[in-house]
Structure 1
Amino acid sequence: MLKNLDEKQQLLAKTDTKQRENRIKTQLAAELREQATSWQSRGWLPEQTALDDPAAVRDELEHRLVESAASFALEGDFRERWAPFISQWHSQLRNPVQATLDHPHLIDTYLDLCNVVGVTCNENPRLLEGKNKHFFDVAIIDEVSKATPPELLMPMLLARKTILVGDHRQLPPLFKEREGSWEEALEDAPTRLKTLLTKENFYRFRDMVTSSLFKNYFEQAAGAIKETLLVQYRMHPQIMAVINHFYEHRLTCGLPEPDRQRSHGMTIPARDGRRFIVPETHALWVDTSRDAQGKPQYERQSGTSKINPLEATLMIELLRKIDAQSRKNGFGPDKRKAVGVISFYGRQIGDIRSRIRRERFDALDIDVNTVDQFQGKEKSIILVSLVRHLPGGANANMQFVAQFERINVAFSRAQ
């Protein structure tokens, strides 16, 4: 900066004696004033500086440089004075023992300052009380359709306002593969409870823990305090068309390019060479009522649950083909395709899991579980084993699998 100023000043001095170069001198003087004005606007020159006097400008700049050098020296002294403290502080931060001692204090301080707290509905209230969280302005309860009335009590009592978020067309609070009757419950009950377990009490309290309070609230609530979200971004429209039967066909797909965004890119022929799984198909039904030889196959009772060996066999065969196709598409141990296998029966899940353990799938990340464990999840591909097929069209109690909420959850996990 000073060098530039000196060069311009020297040019001005050389042109003083040359009348013919007055124009150049005037131009240089204008450039110098423009530069000095810029320095003044940045605070490098005081307001009273004579901008037309190069010598005065230079003196002010030299004065500022001296002041800056002095401030740097003071900063160096400051760092030297604080160096022991900073060094000790760094040592304490690196000390694992000190970190362990500080951890509870830091956690308590952090929790005291938190204004958003996440807990389950079943959390012990003393946990919140111990952290000085006695009351909240708003409680947001997610997956509320699965919560029983007793589970909703704690969060609703702790907040001035409650927002319930859920889908009452999905699983209600409690599901079992086989709903027990009052007679069965009475037979298994201890003697001291038999007089209390009347038929009326049994069904009244069973409804209390198996019905969705959210469903009742939502259906009875005024339109001004409820809202339904009808645009989904998870699945391809073909899958959405299957579950849309449970939503009065009101669901719409929010994906701008679903064919591209949800492309599975797989071509898997059937055993006889016919088209089976192709890129343009995203929802497929497979008839498992007969084996490859045309022999009828049925479900089997397994304790209180049910299994279907043919469906388990077909699941493994299909997983092998999906794994092989996924490897061709670039998936492997470092990048696996997410696949979910769902059934409504625990014994069927156990059978499929044991078969998978005997296989090797290099390109798939497989999650096998019952439908109630899958609520809230999603996978690129979902295989559903329905299990049920009775011999001779027997009229059995199909209430368990026929509950549409279970089917809705199972089919809507897929992308």
Structure 2
Amino acid sequence: MTTTLTYIKVWQKALKAEIQHLKKEGSTKYRLLKGRLFSKGNTYIYFFDTPSFIKVPVGSTVRIEWGKKVADGRILSSEGYSIIVELKENLGSVLSESFLLYDPWELLDQLFQRLEDMKESKRKRGRIKRLMDPSMPAKHPIANIKSNVHELILRSKYNPVTFVWGPPGTGKTYTLARVVANKYIKEQRVLVLSHSNQAVDVLMAEVSLFVENKGHLREGDMLRYGSQAGEAIQDRPFLTASHLIEKHYTNLAENKEALLEERRFIKQDLSKSFSKRDSDRLLHIEKKLTSVLEKIRQKELEFLKEAKIVGTTLAKAASDPAIYEKDFDLVVLDEASMAYVPQAAFAVSLAKRAIICGDFKQLPPIAAARHPLVNEWLRENIFYQSGVSEWVEEGKLHPHLFLLKEQRRMHPDISSFTNRFIYHSLVGDHRSVLKARLEISEKMPFENSASILLDTSGAGSFCVKDRASNSRINVWHLLLSVQLIHEAYLGGIRSIGYVTPYRAQAMLIEQLLDEMLRDRLEDADIIAATVHRFQGSERDMMIFDTVDSYPQERAGMLLVGKESERLLNVAITRTKGKFVHLCDYGFVRNHVYQNKTWRKLAEHQRTSGKAIGPNEIGTWIKNQHPSLQWMHARKLERVKADIDEAIKTITVGLPKGSGLSDEWIELLNRRGKGVMLTFLAEESAPGLRGVNQATELFPFPFIIIDNQLTWLGLPVEANKRALPPYIAARVESKQFVNLLTSYING
């Protein structure tokens, strides 16, 4: 059996491997425009202008790179378009363009030190042992359990560690908040932790709201520690130390604001013209501000000492002795499935009892280094490494695993897939969720349908790789996604998400939405992002664009690799009432094994949901966008008019092995005088007059007119894998033209 000391040593090796990788590859680099030496002594203080806001915490260790010189230092002030840095060596009086390097490994180093401390604490090692080997018998009474909340209260009272499995929409925040509130009423001290500020904010807000409604809340008993208030607690400022300072130590708060304002004015003056007088004034202000901030810090520590419920991030807890040197009655680690195993171990070491809450069927933690120990301990979550999830794969629940069994987020037609294939039929739908989601599913697009497979088979070969990143792009899917969002908005849906595994596709859809839709959708809440960014979010309607299609010869690992089930689970379960799966089903059928989750999803939607075939594109598109129209590719009247009206340039691109018909040669030769024609094809077209020939080949045909207008899928004879009814898209978008021309000129 592995000892706790062995675990700690192995975790430290994993952290060290990740730290070394980040030191070598992971520094975030910020450009500095101009540096001036403020003062010199044992250290050297510099003032820098910045072209943009630099989000590096005050006190962070940084490096300044100027030419071949590199100096270590720390941030003294970071505000607006300027920063003040204290360096250990003199780089000169005036610095030209330089760079600030900020290393995120500092937080991991602090976690490393906390693990080192644990080696000397038998009590902390005992708590970690129970986390890593939860084989002790469950001691909570089960005869009189009244509800989910009551069961979790009992589990956390009688057992040292309780794992909570909270699939999407199953009331995780609701349940945890009421358990924490129960401990508060019983005068116990609780530490709420998560890797993200947002998760801490949401849970602390829910706890305070519940206790307040019960009439038990006393000011100062609940403290959101170590961060500016996020959106979730903006209307509950009494949770923050800054609010308590303003209320009880008004002079300190006013002095701080006055000094900050004076510092801003001096910095503005220094950015315009540097003077010794202003630099001396700024140093004087910095000293006074440091003194005031230290006094505020002492008051915050007093608030922390008195608080019964404290919420903060794992990073803050590991770096602040005011947290890691204290002992709590209960620690609640939320979103534990996204925390490193050493972070979970650190969390449980801080309290007598622990609740570890997350969903091990969602995305795992993210680490950068390629190292076997990093793979084992930083890329996998505590549910797996403690052995708790193994029971689920065997069809059982671990004695210390508490499952929230009813989801209230998704329309049952959407959850039917995840309930069965992801959660082994252990999770069901709450009786209220169908009625709650009908209003969304009834709206366009695809009225009265909640789960839709939009099959793009037969559209053509539109999937290419981004030149810079090798990430995949599907230009046909991009335009269909714009159309879907347009239809949804006109149908009355305002909360819309677009999610894809591929970063390049996500970036391009954002650009197209900004250009084509944002000004039309002023009151809509639309987010387009990769799957990783969506974890923890939800939308009324989600578009899941899987991108992969021909001419690619195999499916991407993001969709069929080791972590693909978790990625697809996150993509599906963000949805409340309408889930549109944009997918080339023919590609999936031919290139994805039947046991893969993506294939299962497509097959499930074809049999249990609503499958929209390629021949139905004209039936579901009911509102043509002014800048995006879909047309029968055999009807050429509109493209003829566009060619006739061309003023400067026409570019025609054909796939390998394609040529132009006589009809198209005649059509292009009709262009106006002075209109330059560029022909991108494997071979020249006899009879085509005044043409610039190039050999840059695309897997799909297109026409670009005056760098403003694109026809996609024409000429139809050259559209490989296209099937009847042949469809072409006409799009007026400079961003879309830029996408295609970046490949031509790249």
Following superposition of structure 1 onto structure 2, how do residues 114-125 of structure 1 map, counting pairs within 5 Å? 114-123=307-316, 125=318
Where 1:243 maps in the other structure, the secondary structure is helix
Q: Give the number of the structure whose residues are more often strand, by fraction.
A: 2
Aligned to 1:273: none
Aligned sequence identity (%): 20
Where 1:358 maps in the other structure, the secondary structure is helix
- 1:226 alignment partner, one of 376, 380, 401: 401
* CA distance in 1: counterparts of 2:472 and 2:463, whole angstroms: 10
Q: Does 1:374 align with 2:543?
A: no
- Write the letter of the residue equivalent to 2:570: V
Contact 1:255 1:261 (C-alpha < 8 Å) held by counterparts: no
Aligned to 2:479: 313
- 1:213 alignment partner, one of 357, 365, 382: 382
Moved more, 203-212 or 242-251: 203-212
From the superposition, tell whether residues 255 and 358 of structure 1 become closer, same or farther in structure 2 (CA, over 3 Å). Answer: farther
Following superposition of structure 1 onto structure 2, how do residues 30-41 of structure 1 map, counting pairs within 5 Å? none
* CA distance in 2: counterparts of 1:207 and 1:317, whole angstroms: 43
* CA distance in 1: counterparts of 2:464 and 2:431, whole angstroms: 39
Q: Does 1:338 align with 2:495?
A: yes
CA-CA distance at 1:248 after TM superposition = 1.4
* CA distance in 2: counterparts of 1:247 and 1:132, whole angstroms: 36
Q: Does 1:248 align with 2:424?
A: yes
Contact 1:299 1:387 (C-alpha < 8 Å) held by counterparts: no
Aligned to 2:412: 237
Aligned to 1:399: 557
Q: Does 1:322 align with 2:496?
A: no
Aligned to 2:462: 297
Per-residue Cα deviation, 1:360-381 (whole angstroms, up to 9, x for no partner): 2134210111111111111111
**Runs of at least 5 residues in structure 1 that lack an aligned partner in the other structure:** 1-89, 186-201, 269-275, 332-336
Contact 1:232 1:254 (C-alpha < 8 Å) held by counterparts: yes
From the superposition, tell whether residues 266 and 152 of structure 1 become closer, same or farther in structure 2 (CA, over 3 Å). Answer: same
Aligned to 1:22: none
CA-CA distance at 1:262 after TM superposition = 4.3
RMSD: 3.1
Per-residue Cα deviation, 1:207-261 (whole angstroms, up to 9, x for no partner): 3222223223223578332111120111110110121211112321114252344
From the superposition, tell whether residues 105 and 346 of structure 1 become closer, same or farther in structure 2 (CA, over 3 Å). Answer: same
Aligned to 1:130: 322
Where 1:224 maps in the other structure, the secondary structure is coil
Where 1:277 maps in the other structure, the secondary structure is coil
CA-CA distance at 1:172 after TM superposition = 1.2
Per-residue Cα deviation, 1:7-31 (whole angstroms, up to 9, x for no partner): xxxxxxxxxxxxxxxxxxxxxxxxx
Where 1:164 maps in the other structure, the secondary structure is strand
From the superposition, tell whether residues 175 and 408 of structure 1 become closer, same or farther in structure 2 (CA, over 3 Å). Answer: farther
- Write the letter of the residue equivalent to 1:411: I
Contact 1:112 1:131 (C-alpha < 8 Å) held by counterparts: no
Where 2:509 maps in the other structure, the secondary structure is helix
* CA distance in 1: counterparts of 2:428 and 2:466, whole angstroms: 40
Where 1:123 maps in the other structure, the secondary structure is helix
Contact 2:338 2:381 (C-alpha < 8 Å) held by counterparts: yes
* CA distance in 1: counterparts of 2:433 and 2:373, whole angstroms: 49
CA-CA distance at 1:106 after TM superposition = 4.9
Aligned to 2:509: 352
**Runs of at least 5 residues in structure 2 that lack an aligned partner in the other structure:** 1-246, 258-291, 392-396, 577-746
* CA distance in 1: counterparts of 2:495 and 2:536, whole angstroms: 15
* CA distance in 1: counterparts of 2:372 and 2:252, whole angstroms: 61
Aligned to 1:68: none
Per-residue Cα deviation, 1:158-199 (whole angstroms, up to 9, x for no partner): 2222221111111111278xxx9xxxx6xxxxxxxxxxxxxx
Contact 2:410 2:433 (C-alpha < 8 Å) held by counterparts: no
Where 2:453 maps in the other structure, the secondary structure is coil
Aligned to 2:435: 259
* CA distance in 1: counterparts of 2:522 and 2:487, whole angstroms: 12
* CA distance in 1: counterparts of 2:479 and 2:367, whole angstroms: 27
- Write the letter of the residue equivalent to 1:298: C
Contact 1:342 1:371 (C-alpha < 8 Å) held by counterparts: yes
Paired positions, count: 280
- Write the letter of the residue equivalent to 1:120: T
From the superposition, tell whether residues 150 and 105 of structure 1 become closer, same or farther in structure 2 (CA, over 3 Å). Answer: closer
CA-CA distance at 1:384 after TM superposition = 1.0
Could you say which structure has the larger radius of gyration?
1
With structure 1 as the length reference, what TM-score do the two structures score? 0.60
With structure 2 as the length reference, what TM-score do the two structures score? 0.35
Contact 2:474 2:505 (C-alpha < 8 Å) held by counterparts: yes
* CA distance in 2: counterparts of 1:99 and 1:204, whole angstroms: 46
Q: Give the number of the structure whose residues are more often helix, by fraction.
A: 1
Following superposition of structure 1 onto structure 2, how do residues 38-57 of structure 1 map, counting pairs within 5 Å? none
CA-CA distance at 1:96 after TM superposition = 6.5
Per-residue Cα deviation, 1:91-141 (whole angstroms, up to 9, x for no partner): x969973796786565333222112222222335342x2368522222211
From the superposition, tell whether residues 132 and 151 of structure 1 become closer, same or farther in structure 2 (CA, over 3 Å). Answer: closer
From the superposition, tell whether residues 411 and 299 of structure 1 become closer, same or farther in structure 2 (CA, over 3 Å). Answer: farther
Contact 2:499 2:506 (C-alpha < 8 Å) held by counterparts: yes
Following superposition of structure 1 onto structure 2, how do residues 143-222 of structure 1 map, counting pairs within 5 Å? 143-174=335-366, 202-217=371-386, 218-219=388-389
Aligned to 1:410: 571
From the superposition, tell whether residues 349 and 130 of structure 1 become closer, same or farther in structure 2 (CA, over 3 Å). Answer: same
* CA distance in 2: counterparts of 1:267 and 1:374, whole angstroms: 23
